[in-house]
Amino acid sequence: MKPLISMGIIAGMVWGTTFTSPQIKPNSPIPKGQVYYSCGGDNISPMFQWDKLPKKVKFVSVVVWDPDAPKPGGWYHWLLLNIPAKRKGIPLGAGNPTNPFFNIGKELKNDFGELGYGGPCPPPGKPHRYLFKLYLQKEAITPPKNGKPADVEKIIKEKSIGVVSIVGIYGRK
């Protein structure tokens, strides 16, 4: 499996910015707690922390994407936009609509057609890579109304000054 490198970023760090999760370890298996319900998991969105952002970064967005999905363009599992950068993190479970931290940013529909987090659930076979991306923004982003996840990420990329990512792995037999 080839490692993915985006914008020259390796191992969750760019410009000294760090992006970490107690649940998602770089290039390691994703725990069952973060896996989608229909694949035997609890579908709990991971906790994330970030630090040492450039001073001009006022917001961050989180995108979780499976580039190995058998769907053209991959599969989007979570789009959480415009989180105030000063928060320095996202609590465990914040991607669930019943969590009190659900509205720390703008939650959008994922490719499951649900608002919030939808964990890994690949078809049986070769394990998939899951990119947990933190986009760094100077200003809030206005997504298109009813925009498809891939179109929204394209706008996020255009409006961001950098991205930091963690790659997790999950597969089923």
Could you tell me which CATH class the domain 13-170 is placed in? alpha beta
> What phi and psi values does residue 5 have, to the nearest 5 degrees?
-125, 130
Residue 10 is classified by DSSP as B
Task: For the chain, 173 residues long, give each residue's pLDDT as a single digit of tens.
Answer: 333 333 333 344 456 889 999 999 999 999 999 999 999 999 999 999 999 999 999 999 999 999 999 999 999 999 999 999 999 999 999 999 999 999 999 999 999 999 999 999 999 999 999 999 999 999 999 998 888 999 999 999 999 999 999 999 999 99
Residue 33 backbone class (left: φ over 0; alpha: ψ -120 to 50; beta: rest) = alpha
With contact defined as beta carbons under 8 Å apart, do 31 and 23 qualify? yes
